[in-house]
Structures are given as structure tokens and as C-alpha cells.
Structure 1
Amino acid sequence: MLNRRSLLGVVAVATSALVSLPSWAADEAPEALVKRITGEVMAAVKADPAIQAGDVNRIIQLVDEKIMPSVNFSRMTASAVGRHWRQATPEQQKQLQEEFKTLLVRTYSGALGEVKDQTVTFRPLRARPEDTEVVVRSEVRGRGEPIQLDYRMEKMADGWKIYDLNVLGIWLVETYRTQFSQEINARGIDGLIAALAQRNKSNTGKTG
């Protein structure tokens, strides 16, 4: 049976892929991009003692350098906030993106040390050449049962971007949408921003 830390390790691999994708040619196929990056990320984690130890600053540095040109994080955040996103001012939207990014990084930073002997296999991509949105499906294999790990991707002017991921049938954006909606209904958009900021502050320095 999959324990919590093993599951976090898998999510950490997925999140690391999200936050460390470099900018690549627009004609790179979506499954090829994820396959290559997954291999590179896992190799980097295994070779970097700081990441294995959950060095938050090291991971945040990686995010700040590479996330914006690589992932449609605006769409990811907007989807997580849901229908309330349009009610937010540009400044609130900016703050939400920053706090959400920090939340993801800090939540899974400690679990990166759990990445050890896992391997990833990919399923055939079911898509037509004209499709602009696809799901790249994979399995993480290690100890225990294989773990489903899927990526939602969209084709943009500068190439394919990831905007959501699925672990064991649970989509990350949908999970956060429920939490965020409850907070906004109770305290408004500024209340959500404040709650995220407080959560990130309380997580500062934690590695697991």
C-alpha cells in the first residue's frame, strides 16, 4: 500500500517537472517534452543533495528562473481560483499567482528527498494532429503498485505548456479549487491571498 511520503514523492516529481521545464522549440511534441523533462528532473534530484534535503531556497530559485516561460501558470492559478478569478483585480491576480506558486513549491519540497529508484513509463498519446489540448499519461514505478501520473497540456504560440497534473485520479487544480472557493466564500479574494501568505509563512524553513 502506498504510504503518504511515497505519494508525496511522486507528486514532487510531477511538481518538479512543472516548475523546472525550460523553454523549448514550439514543434516539440507534448509527450516528448514531458518524457525528456521527467528524466532530466529525476536525474537532477538524485544528483543534488540540497534538493534531496528539501532545500526550499534551492527549489524556489529553480522556479523563479524557469517557471514562467515554461508553464501556463496563469491558467493554472485561474483554474484553481475558479469563477472568482474574473472578480480579482490585476494586482490580486498577480498576488494569487505568486502565493500559489510558493505554496506548491513549499508543500512538496521536503518530499523531493523521497525520489530514489522510481522509473516512469508513458502510455501512447491519444490525440489528433490538430488538437490544441492533450493529456500525457504516465505511470511511476518503484516499490508497490504503479502510480498514475498524467499531465494536461495546451499548445500555445511558443510551444506546449503544462497547466494541470493528475496523481492517482486526483487533479491538482480541482483539489485546490475546492479549498480556494471555501476561503473566498468566507473571506473574499483578499482573504484567500492572506490565508495563502500565512500558510507559506508558517511553512518557511520546513522540509517535510
Structure 2
Amino acid sequence: MKRRDLARWAGAAALVLAQGLPLAWAADEAPDALINRLSTEVLNAIKADKSIQAGDIGRIMALVDSKIMPNVNFQRMTASAVGPAWRQATDEQKRQLQAQFKTLLVRTYSGALAQVNEQEVVVRPLRAGPDDKDVVVRSEVRGRGDPAQLEYRMEKTPGQGAGWKIYNLNVMGIWLVETYRSQFAQEINAKGLDGLIASLTQRNQSNEKKSG
């Protein structure tokens, strides 16, 4: 698959992260079964929703705001992307970083959602023991052209809302968190955490104007 198609497949994967998961199922559902079910539901939702196909940012953002948290450890994802500087961040800086990072991800991939049409997802057998708390679920998105390889790093979380949570995503050999970490490190080294927040905010505002 050509590298320029990466965002298209990542867009489908991003909405997988945003699709809802009933909490009653989360604690008992195996990680590969979770990904398989969500992938099917999400692809069906994209095909059935013309607003999502058209890249309706408001609709996609609302879906993320209401559904993403039960399925993804977004704080861990943001902290990993920010790197060591996260430990020095204030609570307010952490809040802003999570908000702007989420907006960046959704806006980055929203345009790709319109290109999802006849794809299907095949989840590979899980290579993990029954007591493992951290696993990688591997899948393929199949359609026109070569299949796209998608991998999900997932952790088993205890307590309220317990279940498997996604904290990183690999699209065709590229881990999302590590990709952003290298970009963010340059901003932090040059301008600090506030500079990174300002840069993310400016980028999101620019993307909003382009899509408006």
C-alpha cells in the first residue's frame, strides 16, 4: 500500500477508538473480540452515516467526547506522546494538552473517514496468555488494494470501568504515539510545554478554518 494511503486507514482506525463500548461488556470481553466487534460496528456506522462520510467535524467530535473515554486510556496516550516533560506539567497544562491532542487526532483523521466504503476488518488470533495485562491486537483492513496492517496496544485496567483500554495504535508499522512524541519534543525543547500547547491550539484553529 502506498504511504499516501496511510491517513485513510488511520482514519478508520481513529473512529474505532471513538466508537462506544457498553461498560457492562468491557470487563469481560477479550481484547481481540473487543477490537473485532468495534471495527465491524464502526465500519458499518461510517457506511450508514453520510454526515461522517462528509467529514462533519462537529458530529465526529461529539462522538469522541461521549464515547472515547470508556475505550481508550487517553491520559496515558497523551502523556506518552508528550514524553518526560509530562511529569513537570501542571494539572491545567495536562488538561489543555489532552484536549488539544484529542482535537488534533480527530481533525487529522476526519477527512479520511469519507474514503471508507467497502472495507472489512480481520482480527488475527491473539498471542497472549490468560493472565497477560498488556497485549498487542493485530488486524488487517481489507478492501481495494493491499491490506492495511493495524495494531492496537491494550492494557487491562482494574477498578470502576475495568476492562481493556487502547493506549497506542500502529498503522502499517508506524506507532502513533512515538510519531507525535518526536514532533512534540522539538516544540518542547524550543518553547516549553506552553509553547507546545500554543502550537497545537494554533494548528487546530487553522484546521478548523480550512474545514469551515
TM over 0.5: yes
Letter in 1 for 2:72: V
Structure 2 residues not aligned, in runs of 5+: none
Amino acid paired to 1:30: P
- Please name the residue that 1:189 is paired with: 193
| 2: CA distance, partners of 1:108 / 1:92 | 24
Give the letter for the 1:2 counterpart. Answer: K
Q: State how far apart, in whole Å, the 2-side matches of 1:81 and 1:174 are.
A: 10
Structure 1 residues 141-150 or 49-58, which shifts more?
141-150
Instruction: State the match for 1:44 in structure 2.
Output: 45
Task: With the length of structure 2 as denominator, give the TM-score of the two structures.
Answer: 0.94
May I ask how many residue pairs the two structures share in their alignment? 206
Q: CA deviation at 1:118?
A: 1.0
Aligned-pair CA distance for 1:144: 1.4
Q: Which amino acid counterpart does residue 174 of structure 1 have in structure 2? A: E
Residues 67-89 of structure 1: CA distance to partner in whole angstroms, max 9, x if unpaired? 12221000000000011110101
Separation in structure 2 between the aligned mates of residue 3 and residue 113 of structure 1, nearest angstrom: 18
> How far 1:2 sits from its partner (Å)?
2.5
Structure 1 length-normalised TM: 0.96
Instruction: Name the structure 2 match of 1:2.
Output: 2
1:140 Cα deviation (Å)?
A: 1.1
- Consecutive aligned runs of 4 or more in structure 1 exceeding 6 Å deviation: none
- CA drift at 1:102: 0.3
Q: How much does 1:22 deviate? A: 2.2
What does residue range 109-148 of structure 1 map to in structure 2 within 5 Å?
A: 109-148=110-149
Specify the alignment match of 1:19 in structure 2. 18
CA change 1:94–1:23 in 2 (3 A) is farther
Residue 179 of structure 1 corresponds to 183
Offset, 1:205: 4.7
After superposition, the CA RMSD in angstroms is: 1.2
Other-structure match for 2:106: 105
CA shift for structure 1 position 23: 3.6
Gaps of 5+ in 1: none
For the residue of structure 1 that corresponds to 2:13, the secondary structure is helix
Q: Deviations over 1:71-111 (max 9, x none)?
A: 10000000000111101011100100000000000011011
Q: Secondary structure at the match of 2:70?
A: coil
Distance 1:68 1:205 in 2: 27
2:79 pairs with 1:78: yes
Identity %: 65
